Structure 1
Amino acid sequence: MPCLPGTARYDSPLEQHAAMVRANAEASPASVFRCLASFPMYTIPLPVLLEMAVTRVQAHEELLEAGILVDFDESMGRAIFVSHQWLSPHHPDPDGQQLKVLQDALSNLLEDRSRISNSILSELWYGQAGTPSAAELRSTPLFLWYDFFSCPQRSANEQLSAINSIPSYVARCLYFIILCPALTHASRSEMLSFSTWSQRGWCRAERMARELAPTSGFVIVVDSAVHQTLLPGAQSLAYSPGEGLFTVREDSQKVASIVVQLIWNKLHFCLKKGDLRTYRFILNQQVTRLRHLNIDPVDLAIPGFSPRHDPLVDPEAFGLARFLHQNGFKSVKQVDEAGWSPLCYAVLQGNSAVVSELLRCRADPNDYTRRSTPEAQFPKKVAALALSAFFKSNDVMLVLLEARAAINATDGRRQTALYWACFSNNAEGVRILVNARADAGVLGITGTSAFQAACASDGLEAIDEMLVQLPAQSLEYSLHFACALGSGSGRLVQTLAQARADINERLNMKQRRYFLVWILCKVASLAYGVGASTRWKEMAFHHHGATPLMFSVIGGAFEATQALLALGARRDLKNFRGKTALDMARDLCAPPEMIAKLDPAEECHACPTRGVAGQAWRAIEEESKDEMISVYVS
């Protein structure tokens, strides 16, 4: 068994296999995905969509018969995939409300009346990344794939063929739009939002299809006609579609086959490109991505495996040897170009037997990633214990703790394993770590606690567990964190309010704990003052003295806005700049429905003319221009 330190590089069987795959590969990088389509990719040209009447949203068959739909090919232009929740059990958009938001949002983007903003968290950590501009969007014809338009509604067999082709459709779309305006579901009386979209199994599968596509693209959240946000590239790696909600539970099996297909093709694509770091990352994520889908992970069976151990005599040594072979390692202490060791990958895989054998071979239980991992938004120095917490590898966590892994070790942002367990909503991991004496008082570099991280990521189960395990847990600014990133759900607001969080708490970052955030807010405020408007800069400009209600408006967490109002949040309070939540809603041009909820007596159409957003709403007013059969129910 190779238990010796490694050298910088090996000519491993994995590298040899990748070279062979590359030599036999087809010319087109997306061809393997395109061949998955078993039904034409019917799309609607953008100019046609913008002129469609919203009084009655027509189904696929009507549009096809009218000659409106186009079988998309990349030579024609670029495609947009629209992912959304249905507003009723039998029709996606009975009154055309979502379609109207989509039309207005795309029109505003094309005419430069609104601009896509970076997500608050991405801009905070990585600065302002490039987003698609109006000129880029206008540079080539655009075609939209939208389920009710593009999938047959009357033929179950054809519809299933179209659904099975979704990975191919997504891979061929440069833009992936999450359409989630604050609208009420017709039968459930539930406000739909990005939070509710994120809980749907089908929506998670579509998002995963975008992230596992062979080519990069843009994931854009459309909250309203003037609010569009670019999301980071990787969000689905910790959230399985199998953990999502399905109206028809049997649909999870259809999703399972789609996800396995996605993983197999992504692994094959990585080998073809010689991208072994991404190959290892995807290969070992499978337990997480396939959780609750009741399907076996992909096993590519890399050639050349010659084990020295009999699996019947020494199954642990055999298992480790096979793990190292599949990942292209020849030593337990080797580190790849991504800065990850075999132990880190075994933790990612959730393989407690391999982790135990690695530790027996003297792998360090306190091992950590040597570099940052942009595809997961990890900083450098994330400990193996923290990886087990984030990816919910709780059996592995117990093995590492038994091996005396440092429970309060911090990464490059001073975040602990408990922090990562909270951020990924790992309630069992929280319980294990707290019982092992994890210190919930350790603060990240921004002054945020593990509990606040759970609030920021809408981690309801982790929050409940923290409140049980640590009933004296500080609730300071918990509602602000819940609303800041736009993912705050009504249930989260209610949970925190029941725990006695102050729904009218005023934010004050002028204290030592939050000094770094205060400095960042000052810098962003100056940029906002000279016209650089993004969600992060808007929040930084208005943060001092702001209430959770104000943060919900700025962050676009309108489900939280409604919940706070229902709990009696005060509307008359003003921040340091003398603004109320209603003032901010008007200035930032929140949807008229939200302005009405903040001030029922207000004339909602009288949106201000300030800035890009104001111009957009003016233009909209001047230019007045069901669920699928059973398998795609939202």
Structure 2
Amino acid sequence: MGASFCSPVDERCTCSLQSTIHAFRFPLWAVKVSDFLEMLGPPRPHHRLQEEGLLHEWFPGMFVIFTSHQWLSSTHPDPQGQQMEVLQKALRGMIDGSLQVHEDLVARSDRMNLSNTIRQHIAEGFLFFDWFAIPQITVRKDGVNEESVKSAAALAVQSIPAYVELSNVFIALVPELTHKDSSALVNYASWLSRGWCRAELWCRLLSNKIDTTVIVIHSPTQAEFMFPLDWQHNSIVNGNFTVESDRAIVVQLGETAVESKIQHLQVHGPLRDCRFYCALRPKLLCQERADRTLQKFLEDFRFGSLEQAVKDTSGMNAVMCAILSGDTGMLRLLAESRADVSRPMHGLNDLGYYDTQTPLMAATKSHQDPAVLTTLVELRADPNGRASNTKLSSLYMCRSAGHVRALLEQRAELEHAALHGAAALAGPDTLRELLSRQCDPNHILAGRQERFGPLHAVALFSLSNRHAVEAAKLLLEHRADVNSRSSPSDEFLWECRKARMRVVVLGFANCNMMTRLRASMSGISPLGYAALVGHGQLTQLFLDYGADPTPNDRGDTPEDLARRNHHYHLIPMLATFAT
């Protein structure tokens, strides 16, 4: 995912005409980015922009930037223009190069960024924003029949999946703001929970484009490429819908997207992706899985024979196909034929399964039934095996309490460090299981050069973890130290020092997120991390539990970190410490 945004070789593909799987029932209307950047105040509705001559109908070759977002009121998407202001600043940063879109924090890499060519395309491109593009019944032009507007709006809404497919760039606009009517927080986690937002996301990621990158904008200075597992475990079926009757319609869109993706890959490849989506199909669609016969397994995953399947050493080999399918019977059959159930993963990084991680880790990360873990260990997979590049174990990767129990029953070593993984990426039930087994909530992850505690892990990865507040509260109730400080060591300490020097030379605002993060790590508290990433509820929770505004070793207070990352909604609660 995302390679062509960084590779000049494939950039031509982002501008080519693409066929759509989904029905195109209403014209795609978009605003020039240059015009959008000149707009002031709350976004104006479709008919106003049409009167002003600012809307342009889609044409072959149009470079479209699709913006997915969550409405901030029941009658207007952005009544105070807050999202619009963030998007304007972010687009300006993308265009002039001051905003560097980085890989997600889980990947811990700064190798990816937008190329100069893509930045130029964005500057000259067109923006799709639902309020601009779709006729609105509540704000229709005087004299226009309500039924005709309602019909046009319905056709436009039905065409959103096709609009996504026609778009060249997909932006998830998710700054942390407050819903005007409900006072609920609107952010990345809440956006991921919405059924329609998931549908838009799926239509992007499951389209037949060469590049299906998703850019997540958290603030004017913080944008990242989406972590692949963020969408794989957010099914449309379980999404939240304001209008419940939408669910069945939108679920059908998801099924169409998945089936069309698999059919396309079966014909055009690559084989790796075909096997991956074929294996995950039941999970993605929340359908009951069924074990395959040997013949069905070989046919579905394109193996010529059992012997060929056993000998396959590709990234999506037969063992990986069986694991991601949750097929314990096939795992046993493959192992009996001497397939290697411990071969480290490779070549699946862009799908969220990183090189040197073990097949057992693939089972945990893909949320398989605990029986899959048990079967793998019974087939001689090492329950204590570690990824050679991170030294992390399968217990660290557990995503459920059942995973923890299954591994411990198979004699996995109970390690305190598992709390960090559960805090960052799993739910409260997993944390609760580990805490019940006396894992230390103040354990410092000594095996990693970052050296921080579970509360730091919660805060750092909180934007994509909808359970972050509950997880942090659970740790605090078990006496986790809210004022613990990170203490990087060894080579990583030197990376942090180099990042600090870079910040001094270039300025905080001119560095990418990974550089800012590393420059801030030494001596940072959980409150500092919550402020840095912009998580309001965690910030308030830590303050309620007595967090001090202790600066990091660079001298940045939590308020400084929030301000420099444009998380101004946190300033009032953090400014109470000002002297």
TM-score of the superposition, structure 1-length normalised?
0.75
* CA distance in structure 1 between the aligned counterparts of 2:236 and 2:502, rounded to whole angstroms: 39
Give % identity: 27
Verify the 8 A CA contact 1:427 1:462 in the aligned structure 2.
Answer: yes
Relative to 1, partners in 2 of residues 1:338 and 1:64: Cα closer, same or farther, differing over 3 Å? farther
Q: Which runs of 5+ in 2 are unaligned?
A: 1-14, 138-148, 445-452
Verify the 8 A CA contact 2:90 2:99 in the aligned structure 1.
Answer: no
SS, match of residue 389 in structure 1: helix
SS, match of residue 258 in structure 1: helix
- Cα offset, 1:428, TM superposition: 3.0
1:419 aligns with 2:396: yes
Report the AA paired with residue 570 of structure 1.
D
Could you tell me which residue of structure 2 aligns to residue 503 of structure 1?
A: 482
Verify the 8 A CA contact 2:419 2:434 in the aligned structure 1.
Answer: yes
* CA distance in structure 2 between the aligned counterparts of 1:381 and 1:585, rounded to whole angstroms: 35
Number of residue pairs aligned between Structure 1 and Structure 2 = 535
Relative to 1, partners in 2 of residues 1:495 and 1:131: Cα closer, same or farther, differing over 3 Å? farther
Per-residue CA deviations over 1:28-76 (Å, capped at 9, x if unaligned) read: 9864426642332222222332333424x44445545665432222423
* CA distance in structure 2 between the aligned counterparts of 1:537 and 1:30, rounded to whole angstroms: 37
* CA distance in structure 2 between the aligned counterparts of 1:172 and 1:181, rounded to whole angstroms: 25
Match of 2:170 among 170, 176, 191: 176
TM-score of the superposition, structure 2-length normalised?
0.82
Could you tell me which residue of structure 2 aligns to residue 12 of structure 1?
A: none
Q: Which runs of 5+ in 1 are unaligned?
A: 1-27, 298-314, 443-448, 604-634
Verify the 8 A CA contact 2:18 2:165 in the aligned structure 1.
Answer: no
Could you tell me which residue of structure 1 aligns to residue 8 of structure 2?
A: none
Match of 2:375 among 381, 399, 418: 399
* CA distance in structure 2 between the aligned counterparts of 1:279 and 1:485, rounded to whole angstroms: 30
1:597 aligns with 2:573: yes
Match of 1:581 among 558, 565, 576: 558
Report the AA paired with residue 87 of structure 1.
L
1:288 aligns with 2:283: yes
Verify the 8 A CA contact 1:43 1:144 in the aligned structure 2.
Answer: yes
Verify the 8 A CA contact 2:237 2:247 in the aligned structure 1.
Answer: yes
* CA distance in structure 2 between the aligned counterparts of 1:463 and 1:243, rounded to whole angstroms: 23
Could you tell me which residue of structure 2 aligns to residue 275 of structure 1?
A: 270
Match of 2:353 among 373, 378, 381: 378
Alignment of 1:447-462 (within 5 A): 449-457=417-425, 459-462=427-430
SS, match of residue 310 in structure 2: coil
Verify the 8 A CA contact 2:65 2:169 in the aligned structure 1.
Answer: yes
Report the AA paired with residue 202 of structure 1.
W
* CA distance in structure 1 between the aligned counterparts of 2:281 and 2:495, rounded to whole angstroms: 37
* CA distance in structure 1 between the aligned counterparts of 2:320 and 2:85, rounded to whole angstroms: 47
SS, match of residue 130 in structure 1: coil
1:541 aligns with 2:538: no
Match of 2:469 among 479, 490, 512: 490
* CA distance in structure 2 between the aligned counterparts of 1:362 and 1:62, rounded to whole angstroms: 68
SS, match of residue 172 in structure 2: strand
Verify the 8 A CA contact 1:348 1:391 in the aligned structure 2.
Answer: yes
**Once superposed, what is the RMSD of the aligned Cα atoms?**
3.3
Alignment of 1:90-105 (within 5 A): 90-105=75-90
1:148 aligns with 2:125: no
* CA distance in structure 2 between the aligned counterparts of 1:527 and 1:575, rounded to whole angstroms: 17
Match of 1:387 among 337, 341, 362: 362
- Cα offset, 1:361, TM superposition: 4.4
- Cα offset, 1:108, TM superposition: 4.0
Could you tell me which residue of structure 1 aligns to residue 253 of structure 2?
A: 258
Report the AA paired with residue 457 of structure 1.
L
Relative to 1, partners in 2 of residues 1:165 and 1:567: Cα closer, same or farther, differing over 3 Å? farther
* CA distance in structure 2 between the aligned counterparts of 1:147 and 1:427, rounded to whole angstroms: 40
Report the AA paired with residue 116 of structure 1.
Q
Report the AA paired with residue 533 of structure 1.
C
- Cα offset, 1:507, TM superposition: 1.5
Alignment of 1:2-81 (within 5 A): 31-33=18-20, 36-55=23-42, 57-64=43-50, 67-76=53-62, 78-81=63-66
Relative to 1, partners in 2 of residues 1:68 and 1:484: Cα closer, same or farther, differing over 3 Å? same
Q: Which stretches of structure 1, 4 residues or longer, exceed 6 Å deviation after superposition?
A: none
* CA distance in structure 2 between the aligned counterparts of 1:338 and 1:150, rounded to whole angstroms: 44
- Cα offset, 1:258, TM superposition: 1.5
Match of 1:521 among 496, 502, 506: 496
Could you tell me which residue of structure 2 aligns to residue 323 of structure 1?
A: 297
Alignment of 1:204-353 (within 5 A): 204-213=198-207, 214-232=209-227, 235-291=230-286, 319-329=293-303, 330-331=305-306, 333-336=309-312, 338-353=314-329
Verify the 8 A CA contact 1:118 1:231 in the aligned structure 2.
Answer: no
Could you tell me which residue of structure 2 aligns to residue 193 of structure 1?
A: 187
Between 174-183 and 142-151, the greater mean CA deviation after superposition: 142-151
- Cα offset, 1:98, TM superposition: 1.5
SS, match of residue 44 in structure 1: strand
Q: Which has the higher contact order (CA 8 A, sep 6+)?
A: 1
